[in-house]
Amino acid sequence: MKKIVLLLLSVVMFAGLSAQEQGRIRVGFDGGLDIPNSGVGLGGGLDIRYNIKDNINVGLKFAGDVMGKNIYVDESTLTASVTAGAVSSTLVTGDYYFSKGESMFAPFVGGGFGLYKIANVKATVTGDQVPELPTNFTNYTPDRKFGALIRGGFELGHFRLGLEYNIIPKSAVYEVTDGSVGLASNSFVKLSLGFYLGGGKWKIQ
């Protein structure tokens, strides 16, 4: 097992010495920290892209995120609430790199547009009240919303550090306390770390 891990690391390090190439396909994986409105979460994604130029690529991104958001605490009334959110997305994306192969360090900016599927469930507690979990969700279904992605960061060899902002319209939230359905915010920031395979690499000339 150790030999396999060392071999993979050697391949990744050696791959960082040749240039990104037009006409090549690359596959990337990432995971990171989600920062929604008044909350926190985790998420990850798969990025499949085609290099239309040495420093421009386009492709598809598939991602999934879970988070606790819109956290509210009022100590004076002993009231607290939190919304649990799950988001899956399929986006058409594109990135531009400020690099021409002179270095393994390649800053980038990019963005995308596509479909987000969102499920939000809210729980509110007052005093020592503990809400019962509902058994009937007939009044609530997850929403599908079109949204956008703005991102930037840098790549170093085959590794990638990025900061992105997912812009998603508000959607339905199910309140487990009384069974009502309201609206919840969905946009969030993500700080991610990942790596990619294929597509050529950044080189030192």
What is the chain's mean pLDDT, rounded? Answer: 84
- Is 15 strand, coil or helix? helix
Does any domain span residue 160?
yes
In 3D space, the residue among 14, 27, 28, 160 whose CA is nearest the CA of residue 99 turns out to be 160
Domain coverage including residue 170 = 2-198
Question: Does residue 131 carry a pLDDT above 90?
Answer: no
Does any domain span residue 76?
yes
Does any domain span residue 205?
no
Does any domain span residue 204?
no
Question: Does residue 166 carry a pLDDT above 60?
Answer: yes
Chain centroid to Cα 156, Å, comes to: 20
Does any domain span residue 72?
yes
**Confidence category of residue 130, pLDDT binned at 50, 70, 90:** low
Least trusted range by pLDDT, from 29-38, 92-101, 152-161, 188-197 = 92-101
For the stretch 50-77, what's the b/e string if a residue is b when 16 or more beta carbons lie within 10 angstroms of its beta carbon?
ebeebbbbebebebebebebbeeeeeee
Least trusted range by pLDDT, from 115-119, 138-142, 151-155, 178-182 = 138-142
pLDDT at 75: 80
Does any domain span residue 78?
yes
Rama region for 54: left / alpha / beta (φ>0; ψ in -120 to 50; rest) = alpha
Tokens of 165: 């902002």
pLDDT digits (tens, 9 = 90+) for 24-78: 899 999 999 999 999 999 999 999 999 998 889 999 999 999 999 989 888 877 8
Query: How many structural domains comprise the chain?
Result: 1
Helices (H) and strands (E) in the chain, counts: 1, 10
**Confidence category of residue 148, pLDDT binned at 50, 70, 90:** very high
CATH code at 25?
Answer: 2.40.160.20
Q: How many CB atoms lie within 10 A of CB 23?
A: 11
